[in-house]
Amino acid sequence: MTIDKSQITPEVLENTLKKEIWPEVKVVAPPKTGKVRNVYDLGEQLIIVSSDDLSTHDVVHKRQVYAKGDNLDGISSKYFGKTENIIPNHFRENLAPNTWLVDKADQILVEMVFRKYITGSGWRGYSKANGPEQGAEFCGVNLRPGYRKNEMLDEVIFTPTAKGQVKDFDIPEFEGMDPEVDDPKLTVDIIRKNYQAFGLKTPGDLIYVVDASFRLYNTIHSDLESKGKLLADTKWEFGYLPDGKIILIDECVTPDSSRIWDKDKYALNEEKNEFTIVQGDKQHFRDYVERLELHTPEKKAELAAHHMDDDVLRDGVVLYCNIREAITGTPTEITTEPRKEVILAALADRGFLK
Ligand SMILES: Nc1ncnc2c1ncn2[C@@H]1O[C@H](COP(=O)(O)OP(=O)(O)O)[C@@H](O)[C@H]1O
Ligand SMILES: [Mg+2]
What are the residue ranges spanned by the domains of the chain? 107-266
Cα(250) to ligand 1 centroid in Å equals 5
pLDDT for position 103: 98
107-266 placed in CATH 3.30.470.20: yes
pLDDT for position 1: 58
Cα(163) to ligand 2 centroid in Å equals 10
The mean pLDDT value for 186-215 works out to: 98
Best residue among 37, 103, 182 to mutate for probing ligand 1, ranked by most atoms within 8 Å of CB: 37
CA distance 238 to 305: 35
- Distant-in-sequence contacts of 277-281, Cβ < 8 A, 24+ apart: 277/119, 277/150, 277/232, 280/229, 280/255, 280/319, 280/323, 281/255, 281/256, 281/319, 281/320, 281/323
Best residue among 59, 250, 254, 257 to mutate for probing ligand 1, ranked by most atoms within 8 Å of CB: 250
pLDDT of residue 184 exceeding 70: yes
Tell me: the pLDDT tens digits for 297-308? 999 999 999 999
Ligand 1 contacts (CB < 6 A) are: 34-37, 39, 46, 90, 102-105, 107, 237, 239, 249-250
Burial of 306 (0-12, 13-18, 19+ CB in 10 A): middle
pLDDT of residue 281 exceeding 80: no
Q: What is the pTM of this model?
A: 0.95
pLDDT for position 225: 97
pLDDT for position 42: 98
Cα(237) to ligand 1 centroid in Å equals 8
pLDDT for position 176: 84
Residue owning the nearest CA to atom 11 of ligand 1: 250
